[in-house]
Amino acid sequence: MYYLLFYDYVENVLERRAPFREEHLRLARAALERGELLMGGAFAEPVDGAALLFRTDDPSVVEAFVHRDPYVTNGVVTRWRIRPWTVVVGG
């Protein structure tokens, strides 16, 4: 099953995320290598949030990612939500 993880960012995200970026990317790359995370990235113009696409049978995998993410634990993410996603075309 697919899950979309949505992040909302603080207003000055580009400055605020800098100290945590490498650790965040390490976490994402590890999830990618395990086959849990398929892709992810920030929204542009404006950079006010992000979306990450997971494939897993267990939504707690996505929740565990969130709770380990330094963007979340250090206040760069102001709100997050996980939505099951039904793929109709592609994939």
Domain ranges of the chain: 2-85
- Residue range 30-78, pLDDT digits in tens: 999 999 999 999 999 999 999 999 999 999 999 999 999 999 999 999 9
Superfamily of domain 2-85: Dimeric alpha+beta barrel (3.30.70.1060)
Give the whole-angstrom CA distance, residue 23 versus residue 29.
10
- Residue range 6-23, pLDDT digits in tens: 999 999 999 999 999 999
Q: What is the pLDDT of residue 40?
A: 98
